[in-house]
């Protein structure tokens, strides 16, 4: 068995590779070869990537694609997407093209509030704690002035700090529930720095607050951290058109299509198993743009799914209705995104993604990302209620299967031609491939 290692992070990159290849892989030489193959030949660029995280040994590529023809509030955009799933960019592009001829996407920002909390334990009387909070509030603001100065210049800063009694959830548990406006930054660093300062002022001043007993002075701050649940950092994106214009399927009429779409959304609203998959389809679009723009997709995922269960049951993030023969399809989703800070000014491809998107503000990015989610969901559900998804999905997956089989370019061409009019399954591809080979 491999022994634990100390000081791994101090080894050079090559030493790390040597160690991992020898101790954890069966073929160290080919392990090294593949890791080196993914190093960038531009030494500076590679160093930039090495320094994003600890213990980098190589790069992990994902495709960067572009979905063109997105008309968003009358502005025509091409959306960069980073994703490995074959059919996602194709589905987004198809939905964008479809809605381009029907007025495009309309979006509205419903809020931009970010949240952070100082969680603490206190065993004394709540009314004394309230008096202390009133006393300490101005000191908290003054002490964090150096941290908030630049953000205030940009129009943001702390918007509120509230003392919350949470003892109905956990004995002795209180919090400072703080809200922030972070303009074009996602704001995690700003918020966390502010919160740690609030906590430090809070603890220091508790020591000097006369009405507290000796024990009460020892307020225990457990932690200070932003919340990725941002229900008031919210964006709405919508498409609509007369039902008769929903000419998507040769098999069913526009009216039947519209009704099936509404029913499919109703099912996703009613039933959590379907809702999770339905929302996963939305996240195919959302995560792809979030990744391309260097934002934190884990934060977005966590916040979005919490929002999907805000009423006590996990449900659909999209909505659909038919009213006066008009079909409307929309999404309302929390997206705490940034267009400055973090990776956004560092990663060359992220910078390029922002250029392609015409240098959006954070609010504009929220709108673009929400549209990508809505388009993706429209694409997935419209396939599901008509042909099913496998037809399109397998067509897109065909190249993956051919690459796995090691097909040559000429073989690929011939097989793709064959499957233009035949159903793609793994076994049918294998059969045709073997026939051509022999
Ligand atoms: C696959 O990645 C996403 C779908 O399952 C979404 C959905 O079912 O709505 C097709």
pLDDT of the residue at 197: 98
Active site residue 355: no
Q: In which band, very low, low, confident or very high, does the pLDDT at 392 lie, cut at 50, 70 and 90? A: confident
350-357 mean pLDDT: 98
Indicate whether 177 and 304 sit together in one domain. no
What gap in Å lies between CA 25 and CA 430, rounded to an integer? 30
pLDDT digits (tens, 9 = 90+) for 8-24: 999 999 999 999 999 99
Do 374 and 357 fall within a single domain? Answer: yes
Query: What does the radius of gyration of the chain's CA atoms come to, in whole angstroms?
Result: 27
Q: Which of 85, 165, 244, 325 is catalytic?
A: 85
Decide which of 2 and 72 is more confident.
Answer: 72
For 130-181, the pLDDT digits (tens) are 999 999 999 999 999 999 999 999 999 999 999 999 999 999 999 999 999 9
If pLDDT is split at 50, 70 and 90, which confidence band does 399 have? confident
Segments in 101-244 forming alpha helices (H): 126-143, 145-153, 188-208
**Residue where a domain terminates, one of 164, 198, 227:** 227
Do 378 and 244 share a structural domain?
yes
Most distant pair of Cα atoms in the chain: their distance: 91
Ligand 1 centre distance from Cα of residue 319 (Å): 16
Please check whether residue 60 lies inside any domain of the structure: no
Closest residue CA from atom 9 of ligand 1: 278
Q: How confident is the model at residue 394 (pLDDT cuts 50, 70, 90)?
A: confident
Residue nearest to atom 10 of ligand 1 (CA): 380
260 and 340 assigned to the same domain: yes
pLDDT of residue 82: 98
Instruction: With respect to residue 254, please indicate whether it lies within any of the assigned structural domains.
Output: yes
Tokens of 348: 């060359």
d(CA 249, CA 262): 16
Whether 406 and 349 map to the same domain: the answer is: no
For 35, the domain range is 8-50
**Ligand 1 centroid to residue 255 C-alpha, Å:** 23
Check whether residue 150 and residue 249 sit in a common domain: no
For residues 260 and 370, membership in a common domain is answered with yes
Tally the domains of the chain: 4
Separation between Cα atoms, residue 341 and residue 346, nearest integer Å: 9
Report pLDDT for 434: 93
Name, in order, each residue with C-beta under 8 angstroms of 7's C-beta and a sequence gap of 6 or more.
Answer: none
Question: So what's the pLDDT on residue 101?
Answer: 94
Rounded to 5 degrees, what are φ and ψ at 166? Answer: -115, 20
- Tell whether 61 is covered by a domain: no
Domain CATH for 186: 3.30.70.420
- With a cut of 80, say whether residue 220 has pLDDT above it: yes
328 and 278 within one domain: yes
Report yes or no on 3 lying in a domain.
no
Question: How many angstroms is it from 274 CA to the middle of ligand 1?
Answer: 10
Q: What mean pLDDT do residues 362-377 have?
A: 98
Residues 132 and 201 in one domain: yes
Domain limit, last residue, from 164, 197, 227: 227
- Is 81 part of a structural domain of the chain? yes
Band of pLDDT at residue 231, cut at 50, 70 and 90: very high
**264, 180: one domain:** no
Same domain (yes/no): 101, 192 = no
Residue 55 domain-assigned (yes or no): no
Could you tell me the distance, in angstroms and rounded to a whole number, from the CA of residue 279 to the centre of ligand 1? 8
Q: What atom in ligand 1 is closest to the CA of residue 377? A: 9
User: Quick one: 194 and 281 in the same domain?
Assistant: no
Q: What are residue 66's phi and psi, to 5 degrees?
A: -135, 135
> How sure is the predictor about 398, in pLDDT bands with cuts at 50, 70 and 90?
confident
pLDDT digit string (tens) for 250-281? 889 999 999 999 999 999 999 999 999 999 99
Single residue among 227, 250, 278 that ends a domain in this structure:
227
344 in any annotated domain: yes
Q: Which atom of ligand 1 lies nearest, measured to the CA of 281?
A: 6
Give the CATH number of the domain where residue 318 resides: 3.90.770.10
pLDDT at 214: 84
Confidence at residue 309, expressed as pLDDT on a 0 to 100 scale = 98
Can you give the pLDDT at residue 199?
98
Q: What is the mean pLDDT of the chain?
A: 96
Cβ of 74: how many Cβ atoms within 10 Å?
A: 9
Span 290-344, pLDDT tens digits: 999 999 999 999 999 999 999 999 999 999 999 999 999 999 999 999 999 888 8
Calculate what percentage of the chain has a pLDDT beyond 90: 89
Q: Residue 363's Cα: distance from chain center in Å?
A: 15
The verdict on residue 62 lying in a domain is no
């Amino acid at each position: 068995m491999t022994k634990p290692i100390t000081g791994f992070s101090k080894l050079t990159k090559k030493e790390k590779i040597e160690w991992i290849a020898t101790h954890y892989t069966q073929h160290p030489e080919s392990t090294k070869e593949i890791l080196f193959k993914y190093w960038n030949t531009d030494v500076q660029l590679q160093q930039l990537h090495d320094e994003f995280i600890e213990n980098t040994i190589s790069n992990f590529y994902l495709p960067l694609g572009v979905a063109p023809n997105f008309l968003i509030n009358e502005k025509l955009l091409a959306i960069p997407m980073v994703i490995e799933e074959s059919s996602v960019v194709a589905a987004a592009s198809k939905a964008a093209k479809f809605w381009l001829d029907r007025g495009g996407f309309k979006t509205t920002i419903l809020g931009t509030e970010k949240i952070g909390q100082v969680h603490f334990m206190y065993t004394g009387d709540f009314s004394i704690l309230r008096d202390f909070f009133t006393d300490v509030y101005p000191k908290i603001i003054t002490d964090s002035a150096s941290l908030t100065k630049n953000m205030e210049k940009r129009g943001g800063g702390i918007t509120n700090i509230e003392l919350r009694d949470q003892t109905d959830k956990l004995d002795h548990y209180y919090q400072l529930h703080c809200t922030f406006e972070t303009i074009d930054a996602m704001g995690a660093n700003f918020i966390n720095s502010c919160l740690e300062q609030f906590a430090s002022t809070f603890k220091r001043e508790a020591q000097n607050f006369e009405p507290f007993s000796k024990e009460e002075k020892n307020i225990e701050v457990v932690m200070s951290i932003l919340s990725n649940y941002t229900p008031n950092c919210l964006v709405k994106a919508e498409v609509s058109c007369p039902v008769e214009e929903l000419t998507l399927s040769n098999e069913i009429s526009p009216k039947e299509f519209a009704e099936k779409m509404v029913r499919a959304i109703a099912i996703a609203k009613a039933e959590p198993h379907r809702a999770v998959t339905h929302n996963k389809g939305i996240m195919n679009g959302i995560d792809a743009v979030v990744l391309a723009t260097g934002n934190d997709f884990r934060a977005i995922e966590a916040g979005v799914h919490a929002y999907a269960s805000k009423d006590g049951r996990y449900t659909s993030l999209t909505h659909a209705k038919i009213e006066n023969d008009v079909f409307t399809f929309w999404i309302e989703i929390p997206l705490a995104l940034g267009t400055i800070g973090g990776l956004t000014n560092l990663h060359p491809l992220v910078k390029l993604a922002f250029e392609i998107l015409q240098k959006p503000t954070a609010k504009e990015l929220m709108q673009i990302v929400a549209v990508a989610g809505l388009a993706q969901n429209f694409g997935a559900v419209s396939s599901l209620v008509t042909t099913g998804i496998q037809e399109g999905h397998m067509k897109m997956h065909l190249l993956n299967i051919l690459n796995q089989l090691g097909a040559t370019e000429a073989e690929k061409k011939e097989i793709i031609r064959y499957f233009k009019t035949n159903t793609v399954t793994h076994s049918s591809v294998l059969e045709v491939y073997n026939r051509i080979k022999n």
